[in-house]
Amino acid sequence: MAKRAHAYPQVDPGAAALVDAPVASVPRGARVGDALRLARRRQAVAVSADGRAWILRDDLARAARLGLDELPAAMLARPVPAVESRVSEIAVRRHLASGAPVVIVRDGRRGALGAIGAVAATTFTSSSPRFPERLSAFARDALTALGPVAREQKAAAFLVGGVVRDALRSPGPLATRDLDVVVEGDGIAVARALAGALGVGTGGLTEHARFLTASLTSPQQARVDIATARSERYETPGALPRVMPASIGEDLGRRDFTINAMAVELASDGYGVLDPFGGRAALAQRRITVLHPLSFVEDPTRLFRAARYAARLGFTLDAWTARAVGLALRLAPYTALSGQRLAAELALIVGDQRPDVALRQLGTAGVFRLLAAEHRFSDASAERVRRLPAALAWCRAHGVTPTAIETAAVVVLFGQPPAVIRAALDRLVITGEPRARIERALARRVTPAAAGTRASDRARPWWGFDDLEILVTWLGGGAARRDVEWFVETAQTARPALGGDDVVAAGVAPGPRVAEALRALRDARLDRRVTDRDSEVLFVQGFVSRKE
Other C-beta atoms closer than 10 Å to the C-beta of 217 total: 18
Contact 487, 459 (CB under 8 A): yes
- How far, in whole angstroms, is CA 319 from its chain's centroid? 19
Contact 359, 385 (CB under 8 A): yes
- Mean per-residue pLDDT for 67-91? 94
339-351 and 404-413 helices, crossing angle to 10°:
100
Note the pLDDT of residue 5: 54
Residue 1 pLDDT class (50, 70, 90 cuts): very low
* 547 pLDDT more than 80: no
User: What pLDDT, in 10s, does the model give residues 23-64?
Assistant: 999 999 999 999 999 999 999 999 999 999 999 999 999 999
User: What pLDDT, in 10s, does the model give residues 522-532?
Assistant: 999 999 999 99
Other C-beta atoms closer than 10 Å to the C-beta of 249 total: 17
- Mean per-residue pLDDT for 447-476? 90
- If one compares 132 and 71, the residue with the highest pLDDT of the two is 71
One of 3.40.50.1220, 3.40.50.360, 3.30.110.30, 3.30.460.10 is the CATH number of 120-285, namely 3.30.460.10
Domain 15-117 carries which CATH code? 3.10.580.10
Please report the sign of the dihedral spanned by the C-alpha atoms of residue 462, residue 468, residue 474, residue 480: negative
Q: Which whole-number Å values give the CA distances from 283 to 97, 293, 296, 314, in the listed order?
A: 15, 20, 20, 11
Note the pLDDT of residue 121: 46
User: What pLDDT, in 10s, does the model give residues 407-436?
Assistant: 999 999 999 999 999 999 999 999 999 999
Contact 328, 365 (CB under 8 A): no
Contact 183, 214 (CB under 8 A): no
DSSP H or E segment with residue 225: strand 223-228
Written in H, E and C, the secondary structure of 332-379 is CCCCCCCHHHHHHHHHHHHHCCCHHHHHHHHHHHCHHHHCCCCCCCCH
- Mean per-residue pLDDT for 192-220? 85
- If one compares 108 and 80, the residue with the highest pLDDT of the two is 80
**C-alpha span between 287 and 328 (Å, rounded):** 19
The predicted model scores a pTM of 0.90
Neighbour-count burial of 521, counting CB atoms closer than 10 A to its CB (0-12 exposed, 13-18 middle, 19+ buried): buried
Residue 202 amino acid letter: T
Pairing of strands 102-106, 112-117: antiparallel
Residue 2 pLDDT class (50, 70, 90 cuts): very low
E-assigned strand segments in 187-222: 205-208, 213-217
What Rg value do the Cα atoms of the chain yield, rounded?
31
Note the pLDDT of residue 114: 93
User: What pLDDT, in 10s, does the model give residues 322-361?
Assistant: 999 999 999 999 999 999 999 999 999 999 999 999 999 9
* 138 pLDDT more than 90: no
Starting at the edge strand found earlier in the chain, the sheet holding 82-84 runs 82-84, 102-106, 112-117
The set of residues, in sequence order, having a beta carbon less than 8 Å from that of 312 and lying 6+ positions away, is 352, 353, 354, 358
**C-alpha span between 165 and 106 (Å, rounded):** 35
Residue 120 pLDDT class (50, 70, 90 cuts): very low
Q: Helix, strand, or coil here: 239?
A: coil
Residue 109 pLDDT class (50, 70, 90 cuts): confident
- Mean per-residue pLDDT for 299-311? 97
- Mean per-residue pLDDT for 452-458? 88
* 453 pLDDT more than 90: no
Average pLDDT of the chain to the nearest whole number: 90
Is domain 291-491 given the CATH code 1.10.3090.10 in the classification? Answer: yes
User: What pLDDT, in 10s, does the model give residues 210-260?
Assistant: 788 999 988 777 889 999 999 988 989 998 888 888 999 999 999 999 999
What DSSP letter does each residue of 449-493 carry, written as one string? PPTT--HHHHHGGGTT--HHHHHHHHHH-HHHHHHHHHHHHTGGG
Q: Helix, strand, or coil here: 120?
A: coil
Note the pLDDT of residue 191: 92
The set of residues, in sequence order, having a beta carbon less than 8 Å from that of 422 and lying 6+ positions away, is none
**C-alpha span between 399 and 389 (Å, rounded):** 15
What DSSP letter does each residue of 267-294 carry, written as one string? SSSS-PEE-TT-HHHHHHHTEE-BSSTT
Task: Return the percentage of the chain with pLDDT > 70, whole number.
Answer: 95
- Mean per-residue pLDDT for 91-95? 89
